[in-house]
Amino acid sequence: MTVLITGAAGFIGFHTALRLLDRGERVVGIDNVNDYYSVALKQARLDQLLEHPGFTFHRIDLADREALPALRPELRDVDRVVHLAAQAGVRYSLEHPFAYVDSNLIGHMTILEFCRHQPDFRNLVYASSSSVYGGNTKLPFAVEDRTDSPVSLYAATKKANEHMSYCYSHLYGIPQTGLRFFTVYGPWGRPDMALYIFTKAITEGQPIRVFNHGDMMRDFTYIDDIVTGVIASLDTPADGTPPHRVYNIGNHQSEPLMRMISVLEDALGMKAVTRMEPMQMGDVKETYADIEAIRSDLGYEPTTPIDVGVPRFVEWYKRYHGIN
């Protein structure tokens, strides 16, 4: 049988597809390859995936409700879905709200309907976000905490996805797992994320913008650890009533932003010029994942601290951009 991965040209989708292909799975990837960030980077990821004989790709937009159903004859063997396609970014949502409605709400419904009508369907794993915790000040964030006060439209759409999925599990018995990702980083990462932005600026001799004057903390989670959790969720479908569950998936360690910058400086052998700025609208001061639920149920255990992960990212960044 076959796994469908949406957002296959994206950061997490690319790495998840590689892991599944390496263990002998057949994978179908879909992505609209939009220009939210570098299309060249997305295409470079796809080029690697297309080297695998078990991978096929379709460029479609899930906001087009007819595009995925039109592919159903070619997707008849799909029995599992990893749904990672979404419009990401907290700050971008302040200026482009309808991109989030189209990608995150309509796109999620498109996938739910696909799964509902797919014969012998086994499991859907989908991306939520730590952003759903909003301005929550209780740390670490636990899946039982209230998530009804989002501070960005992005967060609101991700919480809506959880509700939509719960509903479809209840109505149609579709096994589903939502994963609240915490600040994912690593090789082939997104250019809109802090680590990539900082690395680019430092190597080009430009100042880095440090929000809330550096008084921020993040649960930085290395991509390999994230993929391990995604695949564990895919291999072990929810079996409750309804068969829907939500997990935090993070590193279970909240690091000061300034420490991450220090580790990055050491990896680059260069000092950053910092420009301290106030907190950005829609942002949160600290994230910290309580991972006890996914640890207990699936044996998930992150193994990569930033002292290891950041240098690996820098090594990839230099190679990809041809920096000696």
Gap between the Cα atoms of 98 and 111, Å rounded:
19
Q: Which helix (H) or strand (E) holds 202?
A: helix 194-203
Is the link from the previous residue into 242 a cis peptide, with omega within 30 of 0? Answer: yes
Q: Which two tokens stand for residue 152?
A: 């960005």
- The residue among 219, 208, 199, 188 whose CA lies nearest residue 276 is 208
Q: Which helix (H) or strand (E) holds 59?
A: strand 55-59
- The residue among 95, 28, 34, 94 whose CA lies nearest residue 56 is 28
Burial tier of 135 (Cβ tally within 10 Å: 0-12, 13-18, 19+): exposed
Gap between the Cα atoms of 184 and 249, Å rounded:
10
What are residue 129's phi and psi, to 5 degrees?
-160, 150
The per-residue DSSP string of 20-52 comes to HHHTT-EEEEEE---SSS-HHHHHHHHHHHTTS
Helix axes 306-321, 194-203, angle to 10 degrees: 60
Are the CB atoms for 93 and 18 separated by under 8 Å?
no
Out of 36, 154, 196, 247, which one is annotated catalytic?
154
- Output the furthest CA–CA distance in the chain (Å, rounded): 56
Burial tier of 235 (Cβ tally within 10 Å: 0-12, 13-18, 19+): exposed
- The residue among 255, 231, 232 whose CA lies nearest residue 308 is 255
Question: In 10 A of CB 281, how many CB atoms?
Answer: 10
Note if 154 is an active site residue. yes
Catalytic annotation, residues: 154
